[in-house]
């Protein structure tokens, strides 16, 4: 019997560049922080992942509520949303035992993720489904009778492909959303299974809260899915998700060396070194955010800029007015010494 056709996508220069950058950053983060060996950091990142993935699906529990719930404390909230959190945590904890190319494991994961929430948890859908925005259907999934065969072909491809895991994870994520094999829970399953695929390549991905970045770009996430449906391939989705992974890694690189408690001395990320060099000339925060490829000012301050200020490598030009619109930043002599 002939092998099924592979999912359609094109390897672009942007994809190749992102894969190379992410692979390099993964090695650097592992060397700096040893994050995969730190239980407290693992748990914190996992909670962030679960909170963000469920928030995308309209779960209203706050990060503090999710943290309290998973610490065994009572939380006031909708019973369904509490169950969603408990199920997701159980699924992420069991995740390392699953084979990403196994239909049985995929169904078991869905059964655990949706246990007590839908009557057909752990089963492929048996009816037609569509995705609506307002009153408009934006995606009509393949007929239910085709789902088992489509998923069998997709999992066969995943097992046999020689595509880099970073690319294979993105392709699988898109194809699962396109097929929409379950009556409910397809979004969280796509994100969970991509994490599984990536974590088998590098264990750090099991605890990298990529879902938090996807949540911050939720509108773009759905828009690029729709655009790929129209294009008939997942190329744009691969580029989008690789960019998301890169951002998540940049955030981890900026924060984890300190959070890990490996050293009280900051190990600057690539973007922080670029900022130190730029700030030899007094520079406003907007320009520094562009260097770090960030759009969220609060996250940039906390994860990129504040560590440089705390280390004494960057200083404010108006230290008595930290929130002034005229505020700029300059590299100190100590900062110049570590960025030569």
Last residue of a domain, one of 210, 228, 259: 259
Q: What is the CATH number of the domain that holds 293?
A: 1.10.10.10
What is the percent of the chain where pLDDT is above 90? Answer: 53
Looking at the fold, whether 221 and 291 belong to one and the same domain comes out as: no
For residues 254 and 261, give the distance between their C-alpha atoms in angstroms, rounded to a whole number.
13
Give the pLDDT score at 292: 87
Looking at the fold, whether 116 and 194 belong to one and the same domain comes out as: yes
297, two tokens: 């000012």
Q: What is the CATH number of the domain that holds 85?
A: 1.10.3290.10
**Look-up of token digits 């839908």:** 118
pLDDT digits (tens, 9 = 90+) for 95-122: 999 999 999 999 999 999 999 999 999 9
- β-pairing verdict for 328-331 and 314-316: antiparallel
User: From start to end of the chain, where are the E strands?
Assistant: 130-133, 136-140, 283-284, 314-316, 328-331
Maximum C-alpha span of the chain: 74
Dihedral of the CA atoms 178, 26, 290, 288 (nearest 10)? 150
Residue list for the binding site: 184-191, 221-222
For residues 273 and 254, give the distance between their C-alpha atoms in angstroms, rounded to a whole number.
11
- Tell me the catalytic residues: 180
Give the pLDDT score at 34: 47
22-46: string of b/e by CB count within 10 Å (b at 16+)?
beebbeebeebbebbebeebeeebb
Residue 242 lies inside a defined structural domain of this protein: yes
Residue 5 lies inside a defined structural domain of this protein: no
For residues 191 and 244, give the distance between their C-alpha atoms in angstroms, rounded to a whole number.
12
Q: How would you class 101 by CB atoms within 10 Å of its CB: exposed for 0-12, middle for 13-18, buried for 19 or more?
A: middle
Coarse DSSP helix, strand, coil percentages of the chain, rounded to the nearest 5 percent: 65, 5, 30
Looking at the 3D structure of the chain, how many domains does it have? Answer: 2
pTM: 0.73
Contact between residue 35 and residue 260 where contact means Cβ atoms under 8 Å apart: yes
Contacts of 184 (CB under 8 A, 6+ apart): 114, 117, 118
| Residue 333: band (very low, low, confident or very high) from pLDDT cuts 50, 70, 90 | confident
Looking at the fold, whether 235 and 278 belong to one and the same domain comes out as: no
Give the pLDDT score at 261: 37
Residue 51 lies inside a defined structural domain of this protein: yes
For residues 269 and 307, give the distance between their C-alpha atoms in angstroms, rounded to a whole number.
11
Looking at the fold, whether 193 and 313 belong to one and the same domain comes out as: no
Residue list for the binding site for ATP: 184-191, 221-222
Residue 125 pLDDT > 80:
yes
SS3 87: helix
The mean per-residue pLDDT over the stretch 233-245 comes to 96
Give the pLDDT score at 205: 87
Q: Which domain holds residue 319?
A: 270-338
| Residue 39: band (very low, low, confident or very high) from pLDDT cuts 50, 70, 90 | low
**Look-up of token digits 């995705």:** 131
Residue 256 pLDDT > 60:
no
Nearest to 4 by CA among 146, 215, 182: 146
Residue 94 pLDDT > 80:
yes
Looking at the fold, whether 305 and 162 belong to one and the same domain comes out as: no
Give the pLDDT score at 28: 67
In degrees and rounded to multiples of 5, residue 133 shows phi and psi of -120, 110
The mean per-residue pLDDT over the stretch 274-300 comes to 90
Residue 259 pLDDT > 80:
no
Looking at the fold, whether 241 and 315 belong to one and the same domain comes out as: no
Looking at the fold, whether 199 and 290 belong to one and the same domain comes out as: no
59, two tokens: 């779960």
For residues 209 and 173, give the distance between their C-alpha atoms in angstroms, rounded to a whole number.
16
Looking at the fold, whether 300 and 221 belong to one and the same domain comes out as: no
């Amino acid at each position: 019997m002939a092998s099924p056709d592979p999912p359609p996508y094109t390897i672009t220069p942007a994809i190749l560049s992102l894969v190379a950058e992410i692979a390099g950053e993964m090695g650097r983060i592992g060397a700096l922080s040893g994050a995969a060996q730190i239980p407290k950091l693992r748990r914190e990142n996992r909670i962030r992942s679960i909170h963000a993935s469920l928030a995308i699906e309209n779960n209203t529990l706050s990060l503090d509520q999710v943290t309290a719930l998973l610490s065994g404390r009572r939380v006031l909230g909708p019973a369904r949303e509490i169950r969603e959190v408990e199920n997701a945590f159980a699924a992420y904890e069991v995740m390392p035992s699953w084979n990403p190319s196994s239909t049985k494991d995929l169904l078991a994961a869905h059964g655990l993720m949706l246990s007590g929430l839908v009557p057909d948890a752990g089963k492929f859908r048996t009816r037609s489904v569509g995705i609506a925005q307002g009153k408009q259907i934006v995606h009509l999934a393949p007929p239910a009778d085709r789902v088992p065969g489509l998923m069998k072909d997709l999992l066969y491809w995943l097992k046999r492909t020689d595509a880099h895991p970073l690319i294979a994870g993105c392709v699988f994520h898109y194809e699962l959303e396109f097929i929409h094999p379950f009556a409910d829970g397809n979004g969280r399953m796509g994100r969970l299974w991509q994490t599984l695929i990536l974590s088998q390549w590098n264990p750090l991905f099991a605890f990298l809260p990529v879902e938090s970045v996807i949540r911050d770009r939720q509108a773009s996430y759905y828009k690029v899915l729709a655009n790929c449906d129209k294009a008939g391939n997942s190329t744009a989705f691969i580029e989008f998700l690789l960019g998301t992974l890169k951002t998540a890694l940049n955030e981890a690189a900026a924060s984890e060396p300190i959070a890990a408690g490996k050293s009280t001395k900051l190990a600057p990320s690539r973007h922080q070194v670029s900022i130190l060099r730029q700030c030899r000339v007094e520079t406003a925060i907007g320009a520094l955010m562009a260097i770090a490829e960030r759009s969220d000012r609060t996250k940039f301050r906390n994860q990129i800029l504040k560590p440089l200020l705390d280390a004494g490598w960057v200083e404010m030009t108006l230290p008595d007015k930290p929130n002034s619109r005229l505020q700029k930043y300059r590299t100190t002599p100590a900062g110049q010494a570590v960025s030569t």
